[in-house]
């Protein structure tokens, strides 16, 4: 999130940074209430889900009454490569 905040601020300023981060936070809360509405990403690993938000894609795991955010990646990133490097 820090990288997203810094990049957004450098291009569009603090106001837009704050707006974009707030949108991400709202989407996190919405996903916590509706976790199965994301795309099941068995192409990455069993149990991973994703949901787009703005220029990014939120990746998460579904737990009991909670989600664990495991990444927020730009939509043009090599997602498979990123997660393979993390595993």
The predicted-structure confidence for 40-62, as pLDDT tens digits, reads as follows 999 999 999 999 999 999 999 99
**Mean pLDDT of all residues belonging to the chain:** 95
Q: Using one digit for the tens of pLDDT, what is the confidence trace for 67-85?
A: 999 999 999 999 999 998 9
CATH topology of domain 2-86: YaeB-like fold (3.30.2310)
Cα–Cα distance measured from residue 37 to residue 12, given in angstroms and rounded to the nearest whole number: 31
> Could you tell me the two tokens for 33?
């209430």
Place of tokens 């936070």: 25
Q: Are 70 and 59 in contact (CB under 8 A)?
A: yes
- Per-residue pLDDT band at 65 (split at 50, 70, 90): confident
Q: What is the DSSP letter of 75?
A: T
């Amino acid at each position: 999130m820090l990288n997203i905040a810094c990049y957004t601020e450098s291009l569009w300023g603090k106001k837009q940074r704050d707006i974009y981060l707030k949108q991400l936070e709202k989407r996190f809360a919405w996903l916590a209430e509706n976790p199965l509405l994301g795309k099941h990403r068995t192409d990455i690993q069993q149990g991973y889900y994703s949901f787009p938000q703005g220029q990014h894609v939120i990746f998460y795991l579904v737990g009991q009454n909670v989600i664990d955010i495991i990444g927020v990646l730009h939509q043009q990133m090599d997602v498979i490569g990123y997660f393979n490097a993390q595993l």
